[in-house]
Structure 1
Amino acid sequence: MGSAWWSGVTDLAQRYGPWAVIAGGSEGVGAAFAHQLADAGINLLLIARNAATLAGVSAEITAAHTVHVRTAVIDLAADDMADKVAASTSDIDVGLLVYNAGAASGPQLVIDQSPDEIMRLIRLNTIGQTLLARHFGQSMAAQGRGGIILLGSMGANAGCMQLAVYSAVKAYTLTFAEGLWAELHPLGIDVAALMIGRTRTPALERSEYGQDSGIPAAEPDDIARFALANLGAGPVLVPPELEAAFLALRAMPRRQAVETMTRALAPQTRR
């Protein structure tokens, strides 16, 4: 892919380089961001738990581009996560954070979920992104430039049966990004919650247990391209094909929104 797709900022590397950190960069949307940022000449630190998939993405990128690629095997839900990420980036200038972690583990009633599973979702989607946004936001503010992308979800618009914890933590992502934008945008930093719907990723495959719900899915490359081309238009980025649904759900009475969300996702949440 060439650089002609970039139309929002004349020089992506100048605005958001020289390094980008992608938390959850081993597959799916995170890997798509990695390839597109490397295409723009930005060096990468990819973070994930799975060393093998991280190594695979790193090898693909270094084979196709001249950028530097580092990997860090870190559990983003661990108590010492922020310290480990800070240590891994202490000698590089990070101009972009993409927080791509936090996919649902699968449809399940709250009363049937284990406490560990619930707390992992909460840590990934609230604590992890907050601490990393704080850490990298400090250095970006000192330089007067940078960008932060937090991966949100259309599920943030209403609670949903069998996805109650997931929709709740994604609502945090949306509101946190809005507040963070209000704080950092005046300092020259672009912040956005990227509100995506069903996307064709390995995480989706795992959450649906290999079943095809029949609901159309977006492609990770398209999602990443849209986000990078529109990052300056934050604090909330909604792909055009989802905008009408996003606005409708936000305007509905809450019970109607919950019932609509639960009904719409029934094919996806049905095991």
Structure 2
Amino acid sequence: MPDVAKYGPWAVIAGGSEGVGAEFAKQLAGHGLNLMLIARRPGPLADTADSCRQLGVQVHTIAVDLLDPESVWRISAEAADLEVGLLIYNAGANTCRQKFLDADLTDVGRVIDLNVTRMLELVHHFGRSMRARRRGGILLVGSTAATYGSMRQAVYTGSKAFSRLFAESLWLELRDHGVDVLELVLGVTRTPAMERAGLNFDVPGIPVTEPADVARAGWRTWQTVRCSSPVTMPRRCSAAVDPIVPR
């Protein structure tokens, strides 16, 4: 798990109320990092915060919709007095499931705002302080959707491909400044968001990972590779989409 001296004393998790984000929060709390959790839904956010506080750390919560252009201003204001050594961007969704030319550009913009714009704004804000201190870490949660073109997901897959290349480039820019960068690429994962979207987890031959396993795998990868390059989830996870969307 991350070293508190390098990645603490505070970690910010965008999308930290449930699923993979909540598991990251609990595992970090178990290792002594204080948390700022950001999510849209107050109920799950409060539940996760309470679970983490029971592990003996401080937890601040911000219930905000990251589609709001003012959300980053609010986050930066509330984190102004915190020394943030770790940023996890786990927010992201596909809210535009039409063929691109049939889609409303407002819906297209929402996908880009959540998966690209807010991510860039938060990385820019917290990354500058990490670079100045010459320590810290940035973890972006990606998707195997970045690897394949897919019907009715043109904007989402494009946004995730952007995230992948952004992480690689950011790693190059920060590697001499003591700031680690990792993109963790998820395959099919059993999260509440995926359940609400109606994803069938019982398709024969398609492996499904659990959020806690994903979080543990992410930190194991970080410890082993030491961010010498952005990495993906193990092949057994990313292979989940191969039978569905052949290259």
Give the TM-score normalised by structure 2.
0.90
Asked if the contact 1:195/1:236 (under 8 Å) is kept, the reply is no
Please list the CA deviations of residues 43-76 of structure 1 after superposition, one character each: whole Å capped at 9, or x if unmatched: 000001111111111111112x110011001211
1:158 aligns with 2:138: no
1:233 aligns with 2:213: no
Number of aligned positions between the proteins? 241
Asked if the contact 1:192/1:234 (under 8 Å) is kept, the reply is no
Q: Residue in 2 aligned with 1:58?
A: 49
| Aligned equivalent of 1:85, options 75, 87, 98 | 75
Structure 1 SS opposite 2:28: helix
Q: Residue in 2 aligned with 1:96?
A: 86
| Aligned equivalent of 2:212, options 199, 221, 242 | 221
Q: How does 1:238-253 map to 2 (within 5 A)?
A: 238-242=232-236
CA distance 1:210–1:129, change in 2 (3 Å): closer
Flag as ranges the 4+ runs of structure 1 deviating above 6 A.
none
Please list the CA deviations of residues 195-227 of structure 1 after superposition, one character each: whole Å capped at 9, or x if unmatched: 1111110111122x2644513211111111121
| Aligned equivalent of 2:30, options 27, 33, 39 | 39
Point out the structure with the larger helix share: 1
Q: Residue in 2 aligned with 1:69?
A: 59
Q: Residue in 1 aligned with 2:7?
A: 16
- Where does structure 2 lack aligned partners over 5 or more consecutive residues? none
Instruction: Give the Cα separation in 2 of the matches to 1:202 and 1:113.
Output: 26
Instruction: Give the Cα separation in 2 of the matches to 1:113 and 1:233.
Output: 38
Structure 2 SS opposite 1:195: strand
Structure 1 SS opposite 2:20: helix
Instruction: Give the Cα separation in 2 of the matches to 1:151 and 1:50.
Output: 19
RMSD: 2.2
Instruction: Give the Cα separation in 2 of the matches to 1:106 and 1:41.
Output: 38
Instruction: Give the Cα separation in 2 of the matches to 1:192 and 1:14.
Output: 18
1:106 shift after superposition: 7.1
Structure 1 SS opposite 2:137: strand
| Aligned equivalent of 1:141, options 86, 111, 131 | 131
Q: Residue in 2 aligned with 1:264?
A: 244
CA distance 1:242–1:167, change in 2 (3 Å): farther
Counterpart code for 1:136: F
Q: Residue in 2 aligned with 1:256?
A: none
Asked if the contact 2:115/2:159 (under 8 Å) is kept, the reply is yes
1:117 shift after superposition: 2.4
- Where does structure 1 lack aligned partners over 5 or more consecutive residues? 1-5, 247-259, 267-271
Q: Residue in 1 aligned with 2:160?
A: 170
Give the TM-score normalised by structure 1.
0.82
Asked if the contact 1:193/1:235 (under 8 Å) is kept, the reply is no
